[in-house]
Amino acid sequence: MSQPKVRIGIVGSRFQADCIAASVKSMPEEAEVIAVASSNPGNAETFARKHDPELGHGRLVHPAKGKTSVTVTTRVTDNGGKTGSASRTFAISPVGDGQLLTPTS
């Protein structure tokens, strides 16, 4: 029995996201991009239109200055229709302009 496809959500919608999407498209039997999130909803929408008009897209809200962590929560539905969610908190570097989210751990 073959393994189900890996379903990928991309955080970011510019150059690196395009690279990831191209890599995933090169192995369609193994993986697919299903969503994109960006701090700029227009960029996420443009990315979705470019790569797949049915791709889910949304807004990523950056933490306020002075925050030292961000919690990412994902909600998923598997091929059998079961849903679930998972959360993970990441330490981050100081936010200078709303774009600097380099993990520190």
In terms of domains, do 8 and 21 share one? yes
31 and 75 in a common domain? no
Say if residue 4 is in the same domain as residue 55. yes
CATH number at residue 26: 3.40.50.720
pLDDT at 21 (0 to 100): 92
Reported as a single tens digit per residue, the pLDDT across 70-101 is 777 766 666 777 888 877 787 766 555 545 44
Range of the domain at 76: 63-105
Per-residue pLDDT of 10-64, as tens digits, reads 888 889 999 999 999 999 999 888 888 887 778 888 888 888 877 776 666 666 6
pLDDT score of 86: 76
Q: Measure the CA–CA gap between 31 and 2, rounded to whole angstroms.
A: 13
CA distances from 40 to 11, 46, 47, 84, 98 (A): 11, 10, 11, 27, 11
Q: Answer whether 9's CB lies under 8 Å from 37's CB.
A: yes
Domain count for the chain: 2
